[in-house]
Amino acid sequence: MKSMNIFSDVEDRISSLTDDLLHHILSFLPTLNSVRTSALSQRWRHLWKSVQTLHFDNLDWWNCEGSLADQILCKNSKIISKLHFHCTRIERDLFRIVPLLGRKIRELDIDLPICLPEDLIESFRYCEILQVLKIRCNFKIYTKNWTGFRSLRVLHISISNPCNVSMQTLSRSCSVLEELVLVLVFDLNGSHGLWNKSFEIFVPTLKRLSMRIRHGKNCKFDVTVPALECLDIKDSEFSQYKFRDMPCLKKAKLDVVVSNFGEAKNCAMQLLCAVASTSSLSLSATTMCILNSAHGVLNSLYISNSACGMNLPSFPNLTRFELQVFHGFSWNLVIEFLENSPKLEILILRKEAKQCWHCLETPCWTPKKCAPSCLLLNINVIEIVGFKGGQEELELLEYLLKNAKMLDKLTIDSINLDPNDAICKNLFLFRKPEV
């Protein structure tokens, strides 16, 4: 029987596409796979040489002179849209090729296991059109002959044991920066002289700031970012933050941890006041515990809210509030957040399974007779994640449903409850009253 080729009459539509479209398709592949497409047909033979998005995820195949990497990079006269290096060791090719690309690359993504050498870092100052720089390895700013990035708009960087001089140099060097992801790592084994540091960040054009502080202790940050729209802070030791006016702030996410709650209370309220103008706020469970302590609602503190002198700020623009709480958390602070957020529309509550020793074992709360205005007039979406059906949860849910007169959507996410359980059936008793 004569064999039949079922693909003989199939039209090759991909090869008929324009070079620009084929280059776009190849840009999603690792560069080595892009090179391999040259074996498909005469049409594909030279396409890989002009791809402007390059991914070198394994440098072992281009170690020698005259390699494919040299053909792609050194002989390519076009501007490279994106260049991504990811390797497990430093190769001499990296030092040879990166300086050659300095004048014609828009986005550079480097992922290496060691600190970038000074010679390689110095080559960045020739990147005249570089707009995006992501360095997934330790980076050190050498102030000598540092001219900065005149066109850089996005910077993701990790710095070990930073100093204020390097932070100021970085700020001054990025005159049009819009997004900064800053990871600062302090050496736990180093001397205490590396801690108790003060840092200044001044970037007038910055719109998005993400700070990741690891093992810092008693650090102080003075931040001036008047155009900031999004702020994300994750701090393992809760440094002290002083933010200047941020009138454009739209989204804030705070996740801080402390070993000494007493020392962190003032810092917590100061940071919360700094983001009070935001329209979207997200607080982690540990952050809520610190605020709970600062607010003076823990029975173990035996102090009143007025004695503590730390009332929550007002949130005049807040429309979306997402918070996490540990098991046993009192709802008093949550209700006060609602009272201070007159425009709130979306409330998302996530419950952590573990118990926090700073929280009450038997939480108690006494809701006021007059419900918060946002609950009566504005809140239309409520989502509760990690719901277990405990008595304090049911009390809160009943309170919300009886007062949320504009509620359109209620979502309860639980992996422990069965729809046929008595707890679930009782939820229908908390019906929203007719408006």
Tokens coding 5: 């080729």
236-250: average pLDDT: 87
Q: Quick one: pLDDT at residue 302?
A: 38
Q: Is residue 329 predicted with pLDDT exceeding 50?
A: yes
Q: Is the pLDDT of residue 232 over 80?
A: yes
197-220 pLDDT, tens digit per residue, is 888 889 999 999 999 988 767 788
What average pLDDT score do residues 137-163 get? 74
Among 142-151, 260-269, 331-340, top mean pLDDT goes to 331-340
> pLDDT digits over 12-54, tens only?
777 777 888 888 888 888 777 877 887 888 888 878 777 878 7
> Is the model more confident about 270 or about 355?
270
Strands 107-111, 409-413: pairing kind: unpaired
**pLDDT above 60 for 394:** yes
pLDDT tier at 279, thresholds 50, 70, 90: very high
pLDDT band at 154 (very low <50, low <70, confident <90, very high): very high
Q: The whole model's pTM is what?
A: 0.81
Residue in 230, 282, 224 with CA at minimum distance from that of residue 251: 230
For the residues 276-281, what does the mean pLDDT come to?
95
pLDDT of residue 358: 56
Find all residues with CB under 8 Å of 249, minimum gap 6, and list them.
228, 229, 230, 231, 275, 277, 278
Count how many Cα atoms sit within 13 Å of the Cα of residue 69 in the half-sphere of its side chain.
Answer: 25
pLDDT of residue 238: 76
68-81 per-position pLDDT tens digit: 666 666 656 567 78
Q: Is the pLDDT of residue 349 over 90?
A: yes
What is the structure's pLDDT at 217?
72
Return d(Cα 414, Cα 65) in angstroms, integer.
Answer: 59
Please give the Cα distance from 328 to 285 (Å, whole number).
11
Question: What is the reported pLDDT for 207?
Answer: 96
* The pLDDT value given to residue 111: 79
Range in 148-157, 178-187, 354-363 the model is least confident about:
354-363
Residue 304 has pLDDT above 60, yes or no: no
Residue 299 has pLDDT above 50, yes or no: no
Between residues 136 and 424, the one the model is more confident about? 136
- Per-residue b or e along 182-193, where b marks 16 or more CB atoms closer than 10 Å to that residue's CB: bbbbbeeeeeee
Indicate whether 249 pLDDT > 90: yes
- For the chain, the domains span 21-139, 153-249, 263-435
* Range with the poorest average pLDDT among 6-10, 128-132, 164-168, 404-408: 6-10
Which 8-state DSSP code applies to residue 50? G
CA distance 234 to 255: 5
**pLDDT recorded at residue 280:** 97
Tokens of 133: 């720089």
pLDDT value at 59 more than 60: no
More confident residue, 176 or 187: 176
Confidence of residue 236 (pLDDT cuts 50, 70, 90): confident
Residue 294: what pLDDT?
Answer: 67
More reliable by pLDDT, 329 or 309: 329
User: In the predicted model, what is the mean pLDDT of the chain?
Assistant: 76
pLDDT at 233: 93
Residue 354, CA distances (Å) to 15, 230, 239, 326 in order = 57, 30, 25, 6
Rounded to an integer, what distance in angstroms lies between the CA atom of residue 199 and that of residue 164?
Answer: 5
Region of 382 on the Ramachandran plot (φ > 0 left; ψ -120 to 50 alpha; else beta): beta
Task: Give the model confidence (pLDDT) of 354-391 as tens digits.
Answer: 766 555 444 566 777 788 999 999 999 999 888 877 77
Average of per-residue pLDDT across 92-102 = 60
The secondary structure element, H or E, covering residue 92 is: helix 92-101
| DSSP code string of 262-279 | HHHHHHHHHHHHHTTT-S
